[in-house]
Chains A and B, each alone.
Chain A
Amino acid sequence: MFKIIEKQSLTPNTDLMIIDAPEIARKAAPGQFVILRKDETCERIPLTIADFDREQGTVTVIFQKVGKSTRELGELKSGDVIRNFVGPLGKPSTIKMYGGRVILVAGGVGIAPVYPIARALKDAGNYVYVIMGARSADLIFWEDKMNAVCDELILCTDDGSRGRKCVVTEPLTELLEAPWITGHVWAIGPAIMMKFCCKTVEPFDAPIDVSLDSIMVDGTGMCGACRVEVDGQMRFACVDGPEFDGSKVNWDVVLARKKVFSQEEQEAMQVWNREHQSEH
């Protein structure tokens, strides 16, 4: 059992939880994730480690309430417990001093995984740009926190309600065109955003890493549900990733495989909605 030390609502559909998990906090590194299971009948939900505090012994996760399991998770409060909390899984991001500046693109809930990577890159001495994008102002969170760990923060929204009115690839192109070598780019967010970031970066020859949130079950390399195609090879996102060289990812496979269970997910959501309407 793992205790929820603190629960916050960040945006109308995004929640944050600080979990008491000292052993995982001790080992956690930027780029890694956990898998949690709320209780006996629940799915195993993979979530990126958004923050960790080795002294307090805590791990922070941020999740978007997209389906039945994440909505149920959102109903938990500070002081409640989570049955299973496994990690840190996956390979950490490669943190080092890159020649030139680094650019991190965070889309939507991708702000969460980008934060610890930005912080570590800054600590390693890099000049760090963060481009943060969302559909509208109310979906943006952790602006102050992010500001504190990067050199320059560029905000944009689809509707212009906060920052620039554009998609993230626009400021990304501008940065890449500027006469300063780009050491490395990260793009973390919806698959379609990552795909377009890779397209944007391609002509500039800058290395780009993306974080693939495939559907997962065990997270230890035992089921192959998370398989993706990188450089023509089958790779397992849970043990070989979740970060991969974005220029080599087969996006058709990534985008298609995310929809594997859409029919069942909808069914579960309908049952959940019915039950919850009758409660209220």
Chain B
Amino acid sequence: MTEVNLTVKERMSIPRHEMPLQNPVVRAHNFSEVALGYDLETAMAEAERCLQCKNTPCIQGCPVQVPINRFIMALRAGDLAKAAQIIKEKNNLPAVSGRVCPQESQCESRCTLGLKGRAVAIGRLERFVADWDLQHSQDQIEKAPATGKRVAVIGSGPAGLTCAADLARQGHSVEVFEALHEPGGVLIYGIPEFRLPKEIVRKEVAYVERLGVKVHLDCVAGKLYTVDELLHEQGFDAVFMGTGAGLPVFMNIPGINAIGVYSANEFLTRINLMKGFRFPEYDTPVHVGKFIAVVGAGNVAMDAARCALRMCGLHQDGKGSQKPEVHVVYRRSREEVPARAEEVEHAEDEGVQFDFLTNPVEILVNVSNVVTGMRCVRMQLGEPDASGRRSPVEIPGSEFVLPVDTVIMALGTRANPLTSEAAPAVERSPRGNILVDASNGRTDEPGVWAGGDVVTGAATVISAMGAGKRAAADIDAWLREKDKDNSRLPLAV
């Protein structure tokens, strides 16, 4: 490694390093990862851009406070193992967050360089270090001595996995209960392979298991067991609920139950969890037509649109008939799009079309109840509403029909419905979200914590991880405190 000693000015003059991407024309036909990652040389060069600011504003932007300056310094010194170790002090799943964090609105938005030029590519560096670590580390598992305490974690999404890993490190015996046949939550069933390879998720889960966490699949809380039973019959000392927000919201318009209308969750689950993109080798079918409309413009909508495009591409190969079209239909304008800018760009490069200021009012069907079109109206932006966004208003007489054969609804999700059956006594909001003390994840039921999307509604991977971490710290403190209290009590018998 050559010793480099640059001045601030020199560092600031290095341009931000672009991430190599798979060619859009090629990638529109495959499910391989789009962003290819830095190589060592590029990562080292990008690391040189960091100014090592004393007040580290970047860390304030990270929901789990990754010691960004320190890991970049270790990377700069060529000590990748140490860089990885520093990240993992705060972040159990860096190969995931490095890929899917909305960095531009979190850590990178606060970077000193971001103010003048372009921020240090913190997410890309985190991904680089984490990927290196997955390939090279012999991870020395350091754990506190066993406490004899048992914690049950419901749900194996980022919130549950993070909470489980942290508690296992503290010496507690942790068991995760997951409803589906694979662990990972949205990371496995929602976010597509080309954005987050499932191999990465499996490796991260394997790491959590090596910490001693036992993962039980096919175990639906509220059906097979309740939180009460875990605490009072099965001998768990505490329970963390990370059941997520998966319940899809549908538009209340005619034709919503027609054949060819999916929720984004169904569409993505069939493709990702059930590997529908490999039908008929894998049995689960996904029907994709030639003209697909995705309603909504969040990250979920981008994923659905890009999956639809790829499914068309796969089916069209060799047949060469009509060119498939995928449209994102959104009632506001480009400025209000909630998806990450990078995802929108990638989608556009791949050929997804955007119909802004457009709102569906009816799904048209034939006699067999199969989708034949979508009646839409044009919108214009009116006065700002309560959320500060300008609310869309219908333009009278602007109706038109989009000749679609498939409609994917990506309008958001709510708390998973079985959450209430799993813990009927835990207080929830009218929308079904679990109410907690945000500083530590405690619910109003003693011994029960919750965090992630089931508390906040659909949010981000890293905020779910942050919630899992805060709850783990509080559960650990609570268990140790309880032990102290108990030892003060006179022994029964």
Contacts and interface: CB of A to CB of B under 8 A. Distances in A.
Interface of A: 23-24, 27, 37, 41-44, 68-69, 83-89, 217-225, 227-229, 234, 236, 239, 252-253, 256-257, 259-261, 263-265, 267-268, 271
A27 B224 contact: yes
B200 to A, nearest CB: 19
B287 A220 contact: no
A267 B274 CA distance: 17
A167 B434 CA distance: 50
B296 to A, nearest CB: 14
Contact of A217 (B259, B269, B279, B280): B269
A42 B283 contact: yes
Contacts of B418: 220-221, 239
Given A84-B218, A227-B250, A265-B285, A256 B259 contact: yes
Contacts of B22: none
Contacts of A256: 257-259, 368-369
B265 A223 contact: yes
A22 B282 CA distance: 29
B274 A217 contact: yes
A75 to B, nearest CB: 14
A154 to B, nearest CB: 34
Interface residues of B, number: 41
Interface in B223-255: 223-225, 246-248, 250
A231 B381 CA distance: 36
A83 B262 CA distance: 27
B283 A261 contact: no
Contacts of B258: 256
In this complex, the member of A86, A228, A236 whose beta carbon has the largest number of chain B beta carbons within 10 angstroms is A86
A265 B218 CA distance: 25
A225 B270 CA distance: 10
B284 interface: yes
Interface in B264-285: 265-266, 269-270, 274-275, 279-285
A224 B248 contact: yes
A164 B270 CA distance: 44
A267 B280 contact: yes
Nearest to A72: B283
Contacts of A264: 279-280, 285-287
A81 to B, nearest CB: 13
B247 A234 contact: no
Contacts of A221: 246-247, 416-418
A194 B285 CA distance: 27
B217 interface: yes
A260 B223 CA distance: 28
Nearest to A39: B283
A24 B225 CA distance: 10
B283 A224 contact: no
B324 to A, nearest CB: 17
A37 B266 contact: no
In this complex, the member of A42, A234, A239 whose beta carbon has the largest number of chain B beta carbons within 10 angstroms is A239
Given A43-B283, A44-B274, A234-B256, A223 B417 contact: no
Contact of B220 (A83, A86, A217): A86
Contacts of B285: 261, 264-265, 268
Given A86-B218, A261-B287, A264-B286, 8 more contacts: A44-B181, A85-B218, A87-B220, A217-B270, A223-B266, A224-B250, A224-B263, A268-B283
Interface string B401-422: 0000000000000001110000
Contact of A218 (B224, B269, B279, B368): B269
A259 B179 CA distance: 27
A263 B288 CA distance: 12
In this complex, the member of A27, A217, A224 whose beta carbon has the largest number of chain B beta carbons within 10 angstroms is A224
A136 to B, nearest CB: 30
Interface string B162-193: 00000000000000000111000000010000
A261 B266 CA distance: 13
A68 B282 CA distance: 11
Contacts of B287: 260-261, 263-264
A41 B283 contact: yes
A264 B270 CA distance: 13
B283 A69 contact: yes
B217 A84 contact: yes
B369 A41 contact: no
In this complex, the member of B218, B259, B285 whose beta carbon has the largest number of chain A beta carbons within 10 angstroms is B218
B223 A43 contact: no
A40 B341 CA distance: 36
A57 B179 CA distance: 20
Shortest Cβ-Cβ A-B pairs, 10 listed: A264-B285, A256-B369, A222-B246, A223-B266, A221-B417, A224-B263, A86-B218, A43-B283, A84-B181, A224-B248
B220 A43 contact: no
B19 to A, nearest CB: 32
B409 to A, nearest CB: 8
B391 to A, nearest CB: 25
Contacts of A229: 257
A249 to B, nearest CB: 12
Nearest to A216: B266
B355 to A, nearest CB: 23
A218 B283 contact: no
Interface in B462-486: none
